[in-house]
Amino acid sequence: MLQDIVDTRWIAKGHIQPALACMAHADLVFDALIEPRHLSVICEVAHAHPRLRIVLDHGAKPDMSTQPAALAGWRAAMQTLAGLSRPAPIMCKLSGLWTEAPRGQPCDSVQPWAQALLEIWGPQRLIWGSDWPVLELAGGYDEWHRYSRSLCASLSPNEQAALFGGNAQRMYRLD
């Protein structure tokens, strides 16, 4: 939950590196609950620990209140991080986006960010999740699931299966 730590660079500090190295050695996943301010730091962590499997939770919780200004900067930082997926195994969760939208916004208000995540990470590196029960702050599970399915309607059945379960199984070694 790096989002709650004031020091944006905390995860890159020297005394934390042995823990990240142990996580990589043990083949554990680092679920990074971060904000856009952390994206460049996560790039550093990925470079320093190329075997560490990293999942960016909630699309790095983009600021949806100042569209389109925040969208462009967030998108560029996400593209940089997505480019590091070789050799670092990095994936991103689509879950939580609606919860990040300004209160009272309809589900489809996340369209620019959701579409960007799909384009940047592709169906083989994006993980769907409900973010339930926190999702209830924005709306219901059924609406989020329907919206997400419609977002991915143009994908092949295999790509949809990957995004809606297969990628999580692969990343978290749930086979």
Task: Tell me what pLDDT residue 175 has.
Answer: 79
Q: Of 45, 140, 33, which is closest to residue 89 (Cα–Cα)?
A: 45
Give pLDDT, residue 83: 86
For the residues 43-54, what does the mean pLDDT come to?
A: 93
Domains of the chain: residue spans and CATH: 2-171 (3.20.20.140)
Position 37 scores a pLDDT of: 94
Quick one: average pLDDT of 28-38? 95
Tell me the average pLDDT across 52-77: 88
98, 87 Cβ separation under 8 angstroms: no
Mapped onto helix, strand or coil, the DSSP state of residue 127 is strand
| 85-134 residue pLDDT tens | 665 689 999 998 999 999 999 999 999 999 999 999 999 999 999 999 99
Residue 132 has what pLDDT?
92
Give the type of residue at 23: M
Looking at residue 151, the DSSP 8-state letter turns out to be H
